[in-house]
Amino acid sequence: MSIKSENMDEEYLTVTEINNYISKKFKTDQKLTKVYIKGEISNYKVYSSGHGYFTLKDEHSKIQELFFIEHVINLNLNLKTGLKY
């Protein structure tokens, strides 16, 4: 259920609505069903939870990333700031 603002030109979505929309896009858009992203890792840090957090960036944009502990352990990747994939 989207919410109209006082300015009737603006329409707000709930967190659930935007998550459902994005999830549906990744499941149905041919370009998004299998995605490989390349970029440079910056600000990589593993917290006490074991999860890794970093930014994947290129010269124009960046994406905030979360790498769950299961992947950190199972993939045996030596992620660190400055690596390019």
Mean pLDDT for the stretch of residues 1-30 = 82
Q: Considering the entire predicted model, what is its pTM?
A: 0.65
In angstroms, rounded to a whole number, what is the distance separating the alpha carbons of residues 56 and 42? 6
The amino acid occupying position 53 is Y
Around 4, how many Cα atoms within 13 Å sit in the side-chain half-sphere? 4
The 3-state DSSP class for residue 81 equals: coil
Lowest mean pLDDT among 40-49, 54-63, 66-75: 66-75
Which residues is 40 bridged to in the sheet? 57, 84
What's residue 60's pLDDT? 96
For the chain, percent of residues with pLDDT exceeding 70: 89
Task: Look at residue 4 and tell me whether its pLDDT is greater than 60.
Answer: no
* For residue 3, pLDDT beyond 60: no
